Amino acid sequence: MISKYPRDKGTLVLAFITGLSINGSFSVLFSSFVPFSIFPLIALALAAWCLHQRYLNRAMPDGMPSIAAAFFLLGILVYSALVRAEYPDMGSNFVPTILMVALVFWIGYRLKRHKEQ
């Protein structure tokens, strides 16, 4: 079912970028470890706007909203793990990494199941 809708890959990428940029914006605004930058805020605004436009103009196939939400959560976890690896004073990145790997396996399982149907 995913192969019939090639544009849905764009939705998944936008959901991932939105997750990255929302965590980046939060870190930039509220964390003393991460230096301030305007780019996560710009990326968040553009990705959220594009994702909203896709939602308004295209129908999503069955099961795609849960996969898009998983990609959003994956973006949040990836950014958290990368920032914690760059700034070890923030704490360990063990939990985000384990959750990220489990989420990648779940996404792979769901995408494989979609292709079989």
The rounded distance, in Å, linking the Cα atoms of 25 and 47 is: 13
**Residue 22 within a domain:** yes
Higher-pLDDT residue of 3 and 112 is: 112
The rounded distance, in Å, linking the Cα atoms of 35 and 103 is: 29
pLDDT at 8: 80
**Residue 39 within a domain:** yes
pTM of the model: 0.88
| Domains identified in the chain, total number | 1
**Residue 80 within a domain:** yes
Percent of the chain with pLDDT over 90: 68
**Residue 3 within a domain:** no
**Residue 2 within a domain:** no
Q: Is residue 1 very low, low, confident or very high in pLDDT (cuts 50, 70, 90)?
A: very low
Q: Which domain holds residue 111?
A: 8-116
Residue where the block lists tokens 């764009």? 10
**Is the CB of residue 24 less than 8 Å from the CB of residue 79?**
yes
**Residue 82 within a domain:** yes
**How much of the chain is in helix, strand and coil states, percent to nearest 5?**
80, 0, 20
**Residue 50 within a domain:** yes
Whole-number mean pLDDT of the chain?
Answer: 90
